[in-house]
Amino acid sequence: MSPLSILLDGLPVPFEDHQTIMDAALAAGIYIPHLCHHPEFEPQGSCKLCTVKANGRYVSACTMPARDGMEVENNSPDLNDKRRTLLQMLFVEGNHFCPSCEQSGNCMLQALAYELEMLSPHFDQFYPNRPLDASHAEVLLDFNRCILCELCVRASRDVDGKSVFALSGRGIGKHLIVNAESGRLADSNFALSDKAAQVCPVGVIIEKRRGFAVPIGERRYDVEPISVQAERLRPRRAGEEC
């Protein structure tokens, strides 16, 4: 029986039944831009940065099941231009001033902006008035940097079993909240060891007393572009060299 495969940017990429386009690409070490995707959680397709063309139709790679013989376009000027626009909107919707952020160099939003050569935010800044929450003994929450990916929401609910975080409101008023009567992280059962503390792709959840422990310039995406790491970090088959 011949293996199942898709044609991704002209390259045959094998996949297993029930895998999505994103699953197949990452298993093959091929990078598809994304922010809200995490391999341990059910996909939800909220950020739309993983939009690809599958048989000529725009779809989210993280939610679209792979189909044998499917022709997928990922790394094209058209798609990357649309992704840059999405990134520009994310940058102006929140307060993302990279030089002052502890997550600089470890931030997926910043790394994607470099990867897709986003030279300016283009749109007018919203400057939302969102609070900081320093009430917790171990963690600072900077809601200004939230991109509404819901990774912390899903991690806390599905892995930690705590449901510490949620999104509230609609449209431009949608924002991250803490599920405590006071709204303060200190009044929840959140712990630094929680999965939810590890999955934020930007600089919302910051461990206290560790500021700039690794110098900027030596951090994850300073050392290697985000697209290169898809190949370096992909699962290896037995006997395959890194």
CA atoms within 13 Å, Cβ hemisphere of 163: 3
Helix extents (H) in 7-97: 21-27, 77-93
Q: What CATH number is given for 5-75 in this structure?
A: 3.10.20.740
pLDDT, residue 237, reads 47
Instruction: Indicate the pLDDT class of residue 100, thresholds 50, 70 and 90.
Output: confident
pLDDT, residue 62, reads 96
Q: Which class is domain 97-223?
A: alpha beta
pLDDT tens digit string along 134-147?
999 999 999 999 99
Q: What is the pTM of this model?
A: 0.91
pLDDT tens digit string along 67-99?
999 999 999 999 999 999 999 999 999 989 898
pLDDT tens digit string along 156-182?
999 999 999 999 999 888 999 999 999
pLDDT tens digit string along 40-50?
899 999 999 99
pLDDT, residue 99, reads 87
pLDDT tens digit string along 220-240?
999 999 999 876 655 444 445
Structural domain boundaries in the chain: 5-75, 97-223
pLDDT, residue 128, reads 85
